[in-house]
């Protein structure tokens, strides 16, 4: 074997490790960025509740907020453990997702039904009915991506981590909607800008994957493919007399 071959062989594993480290740095950053989006979106209202400026919401809303924040923080901690190459702790902490993930779905369903029942016959009903469509999207797509992430955690880690991010994205558009300072965000009049911002959030990951892999990972294609129909439909549903009449019947309101 030539000296050149020995040197090349010695450097090859290091290159792969460095590539993997860069990948983990990026996706850990993406995970914590989604935590930041969640905090920035919900912090003003949460602080207003704490100082008494805004009336305290029902208990189910507090449960919803706690579980949603728990999910996003758990996701970011998992990405950080992967970055630190503590896969032993990553796997142990990952067991919590088997509790937190279903809890997300339960509280999301509970808060959806509760809001519909409380808003029925009030001036807030049209807006709550519009939001119902978005909540149905989350109720269906969050578990889809979550289960997909669980199914691929061992045989396809690259798919796994992207599916976790997609599951989280299905939950944070409400945080974006509360950022009234964002350009073109006219919520509650419409939801188009919120959806555009939501679809833009994964774009850095698409660009990163394209640079690193030479193509966009198929996880993102599935993610956009399953989400875009809901985005388009929301534009037709929003303030539609048909939906405002039919939507509440889905939850018995």
In the DSSP assignment, the letter for residue 152 is T
The whole-model pTM stands at 0.88
Q: Give how far Cα 240 sits from Cα of 177, 205, 251, Å.
A: 20, 35, 18
* Residue with more model confidence, 64 or 144: 144
pLDDT band at 241 (very low <50, low <70, confident <90, very high): very high
Phi-psi region of 239 (alpha: psi -120 to 50; beta: other; left: phi over 0): left
Are 206 and 216 in contact by the 8 Å Cβ rule? The answer is: yes
Q: Which residues contact 200 (CB under 8 A, 6 or more apart)?
A: none
> Where exactly are the structural domains of the chain?
3-251
The radius of gyration of the chain's CA atoms, rounded to the nearest angstrom, is 21
Per-residue pLDDT tens for 107-127?
999 999 999 888 888 899 999
Q: Which residues contact 51 (CB under 8 A, 6 or more apart)?
A: none
| pLDDT for 224 beyond 60 | yes
Axis-axis angle for helices 125-151, 97-119 (nearest 10): 170
Are 78 and 34 in contact by the 8 Å Cβ rule? The answer is: no
Q: Stretch 183-195: mean pLDDT, rounded?
A: 95
Burial 221-245 (b: 16+ CB within 10 A, else e): ebbeebbeebbeebeebbeeeebbe
Measuring CA to CA, which residue among 128, 127, 219 is closest to residue 169? 219
Per-residue pLDDT tens for 47-89?
888 887 888 888 888 899 899 999 999 999 999 998 888 888 8
């Amino acid at each position: 074997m030539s000296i050149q071959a020995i040197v090349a062989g010695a450097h090859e594993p290091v290159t792969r490790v460095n590539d993997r480290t860069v990948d983990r740095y990026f996706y850990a950053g993406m995970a914590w960025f989604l935590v930041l989006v969640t905090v920035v979106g919900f912090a003003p209202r949460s602080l207003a509740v704490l100082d008494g400026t805004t009336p305290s919401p029902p208990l189910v809303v507090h449960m919803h907020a706690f579980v949603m924040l728990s999910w996003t923080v758990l996701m970011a901690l998992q990405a950080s453990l992967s970055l630190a190459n503590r896969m032993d702790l990553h796997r142990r902490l990952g067991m919590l997702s088997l509790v937190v993930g279903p809890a997300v779905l339960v509280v999301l369903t509970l808060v959806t039904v509760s809001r519909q029942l409380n808003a029925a016959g009030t001036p807030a009903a049209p807006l709550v009915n519009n939001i119902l469509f978005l909540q149905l999207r989350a109720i269906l797509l969050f578990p889809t991506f979550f289960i997909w992430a669980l199914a691929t955690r061992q045989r396809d880690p690259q798919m796994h981590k992207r599916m976790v991010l997609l599951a989280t994205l299905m939950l944070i558009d409400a945080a974006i909607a509360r950022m009234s300072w964002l350009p073109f965000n006219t919520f509650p009049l419409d939801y188009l800008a919120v959806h555009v911002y939501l679809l833009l959030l994964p774009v850095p990951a698409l660009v990163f994957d394209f640079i690193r892999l030479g193509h966009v990972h198929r996880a993102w294609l599935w993610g956009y493919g399953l989400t875009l129909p809901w985005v388009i439909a929301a534009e037709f549903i929003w303030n539609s007399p048909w939906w405002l009449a039919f939507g509440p019947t889905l939850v018995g309101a």
